Amino acid sequence: MSSSSSDVISGGSIAVAIVSVITGGIVVIVVAILIYKCCKLRMWRKYGLSPPELPASPPPRPRSDDDHAVAALTTTTVDVIKERPVRFSSPQLREMTGDYAERLGAGGFGVVYKGQIPGGLAVAVKVLGSDMGRRAEEQFMVEIGTIGRTSHVNLVMLYGFCFDADLKALVYECMPKGSLERYLFFLDEQEQGLGFHKLFRIAVGTAKAIRYLHDECARRIIHYDIKPGNVLLDEELEPKVGDFGLARLCDREKTHLTMTGGGRGTPGYAAPELWKPVPVTHKCDVYSYGMLLFEILGQRRNYMHGMESQEQWYPRWVWQRLEHGETEAVVARARAQGGAAAADKAERMCTVALWCVQYRPEDRPSMASVVQMLEAHDHVAAPTVSPFAHLDPQVIITTSSSSSSLLHTDDTTGGTTSTHISHHIT
């Protein structure tokens, strides 16, 4: 009797223990799921994207059913996506791109495909690696949050995105003429270039887009990757700046943003301070824009292997020509393409470029001044200090004075003599 009752008791406690373990386990799982969902929701909110407000994505369906997946995207959707970014599902994007049939290009973040939303709207779908790390996922959110709130005639519009487990992608307005990079560097022999007047227009439009990002958005946006590949062209060859993948929002009051995790941007366009552990400001975009201006001016890459050494690094060659009063050598190509008016624009472009690539960020103009200088009809004085002085081992740039001055080290005496290069370009 006692043994059987103790058996019942121990059997009962085992049952109780099992039930408790199972209940405990379920509670832990439910809490974990809730915490996870909460974190996800907070992440969406952090970037200004509220999933419940977004059109619901249909669950992934087998391929045979996919034919109808995009049917949900009516012309109303076309109107909606012009208002704010829409969330698409992975099957919808496959359908929109015709199973990723047409490739528009590829960049650091992934491949870009052509697509179409029913109703006829052409889109460019940028597919990002699905095995993203946490950092890349955050970057993705930043990109959506950043572009979703911008609207400017010279900025590429973000229509939507996909954030499914198997696919992370961005859906942009399609820019039918591709990027400026192609027109500057990759034209076939028989293809006609854009001509200097059009190139100048593109330069001004691009400057206006960056001015908007810096000064006219609710919060300042630093692009970090201004280069010809990120200046896209519409049907009329009007420019729109795209690829905010590296953009970071920062408070206008906080003028400095200290970068961690090494350099960013693209070599050749990235400002020198981006490669150093020093505070970075929006002036890094001004530097990259200056490098872009040089490439527009020369209609060649700034750095070219195999050229005569003086011309290999085009921006420095330009500075040297102006220093020697040989402006015509710089503007000759523009003059050949568009006469005296183009030569005049080229000279202004050249002066502005030299200001933009000044070594010290504080010596570079704001993008508002850049636009003003480019559009001004009066003469713009060129900087008096070579932007490339820091590349010369014998020259040290003093950083104490409000305007840059150069100290030439005097090897024979060991002393230094302050020399202000006073070369105004006329």
Ligand X SMILES: Nc1ncnc2c1ncn2[C@@H]1O[C@H](COP(=O)(O)OP(=O)(O)O)[C@@H](O)[C@H]1O
Annotated binding site: 126
Beta bridge partners of 418: 407
Closest residue by Cα to residue 122 from 232, 48, 225: 232
What whole-number distance in Å separates Cα of residue 48 and Cα of residue 288? 29
Identify what 354 binds: Mg ion, ligand X, none; CB under 5 to 8 Å per kind: none
Q: Which residue is nearest to Mg ion (CB)?
A: 243
**Which residues of this chain interact with ligand X, rule CB under 6 A?**
104-109, 112, 124, 126, 156, 172, 174-175, 178-179, 181, 229-230, 232, 242-243
CB of 278 to ligand X, least distance (A): 25
- Residue with smaller CB distance to Mg ion, 243 or 363: 243
CB of 170 to ligand X, least distance (A): 9
**Which residues of this chain interact with Mg ion, rule CB under 5 A?**
107, 230, 243
- ∠ CA 12-16-21, nearest 5°, is 150
What whole-number distance in Å separates Cα of residue 19 and Cα of residue 40? 31
| Binding-site annotation, residues for ATP | 126
- Residue with smaller CB distance to ligand X, 107 or 272: 107
What whole-number distance in Å separates Cα of residue 188 and Cα of residue 101? 24
- Residue with smaller CB distance to ligand X, 232 or 349: 232
CB of 228 to Mg ion, least distance (A): 10
List, by residue number, the catalytic residues: 225
- ∠ CA 234-100-59, nearest 5°, is 110
Q: Which residue has the tokens 């229509």?
A: 159
345 close to 196: Cβ distance less than 8 angstroms: yes
Identify what 342 binds: ligand X, Mg ion, none; CB under 5 to 8 Å per kind: none
Closest residue by Cα to residue 295 from 207, 387, 183: 183
- Residue with smaller CB distance to ligand X, 113 or 163: 113
Identify what 364 binds: ligand X, Mg ion, none; CB under 5 to 8 Å per kind: none
Identify what 108 binds: Mg ion, ligand X, none; CB under 5 to 8 Å per kind: ligand X
CB of 172 to Mg ion, least distance (A): 10
What whole-number distance in Å separates Cα of residue 140 and Cα of residue 161? 9
